[in-house]
Amino acid sequence: MHHTLRITEIFYSLQGETRTSGLPTVFVRLTGCPLRCQYCDSAYAFSGGEIMSLEAILERVAAYKPRYVCVTGGEPLAQPACQALLQRLCDAGYEVSLETSGALSIAEIDQRVSRVVDLKTPGSGEVGRNLYANIEHLSRNDQVKFVICSREDYDWAVSKLIEYRLDARAGEVLFSPSYGQIDLRALADWIVSDNLPVRLQLQLHKILWNDAPGH
């Protein structure tokens, strides 16, 4: 079967987020997203892009000789051929991660992939899109992320953490500040004072490169 995907960009940078933060990583950014989070820093990937064959994508990735590959977007799972892309990247021997909004099922996604599942907070404006059935498919190789816009979002994230025992299911629970929307030190202090089993993650690439294209 001949698979194609609509791609916004493929670039090599330091991973700015998740458990591989700071490690050189190739990013494959798929075009299009059915959500509209108010804070989205990747809205340029909602449209446009270029149709590429699976083979052409694999060739572009291989040219960097990476260890880590991150498939992101847009919403990667909105394109059916994403599943085949992830499988082929794993087969090629890369450490593969997938960033997904949590609005589409991860049930059929290769378990070799570290699935980074965002649970959309009320502050995102898309909390109604969360597919909670995804939680039962999480393994220790997966990560759950909350992007926190306010104290209300923090309290909501803590309630979901406890309700679903997320720290016992996923390998990492990430609390990430919505960029520029919340005081970093306050978020850090809340996590410490509540003794939470979560990791505060900053977006390293924005500190380093101010979110410039290609990073």
Ligand X SMILES: C[S@@+](CC[C@H](N)C(=O)[O-])C[C@H]1O[C@@H](n2cnc3c(N)ncnc32)[C@H](O)[C@@H]1O
Ligand Y SMILES: Nc1nc2[nH]cc(C(=O)O)c2c(=O)[nH]1
User: ∠146-44-72 over CA atoms, to 5°?
Assistant: 45
Kindly tell me which residue out of 61, 75, 154, 175 binds ligand X, with binding defined by CB under 6 A: 75
Amino acid at 36: R
Report if residue 33 touches ligand SF4, rule: CB under 6 A.
yes
Whole-angstrom Cα distance, residue 37 to residue 135? Answer: 21
Residue 40 labelled as part of a binding site: yes
Tokens of 209: 């490169």
Report if residue 120 touches ligand Y, rule: CB under 6 A.
no
Report if residue 74 touches ligand SF4, rule: CB under 6 A.
yes
Kindly tell me which residue out of 14, 90, 188, 202 binds ligand Y, with binding defined by CB under 6 A: 14
The strand pair at 114-118 and 143-148 is best described as: parallel
- What 3-state class would DSSP assign to 181? coil
Q: Which of residues 25-64 bind ligand X (CB under 6 A)?
A: 33, 39-42
Mark 51-80 with x for binding to ligand Y (rule: CB under 6 A) and - for no binding. ---------------------x--------
Kindly tell me which residue out of 8, 31, 72, 134 binds ligand X, with binding defined by CB under 6 A: 72
Answer yes or no: are the C-beta atoms of 133 and 105 closer than 8 Å.
yes
Report if residue 130 touches ligand X, rule: CB under 6 A.
no
Report if residue 4 touches ligand Y, rule: CB under 6 A.
no
Report if residue 205 touches ligand Y, rule: CB under 6 A.
yes
Q: Counting Cβ atoms within 10 Å, is residue 61 exposed (0-12), middle (13-18) or buried (19+)?
A: buried
Instruction: Tell which residue, 212, 208, 170, 213, has the closest CA to residue 14.
Output: 208
Tell me how many residues contact ligand X (CB under 6 A): 18
Residues 6+ apart with CB under 8 A from 58: 88, 89, 92
Whole-angstrom Cα distance, residue 170 to residue 142? Answer: 5
Report if residue 37 touches ligand SF4, rule: CB under 6 A.
yes
Kindly tell me which residue out of 5, 31, 49, 73 binds ligand X, with binding defined by CB under 6 A: 73
Give the footprint of ligand SF4 on this chain (CB under 6 A): 33, 35-37, 40, 42, 73-75, 101
Give the footprint of ligand X on this chain (CB under 6 A): 33, 39-42, 72-73, 75, 99-101, 118, 145, 147, 176, 178-179, 203
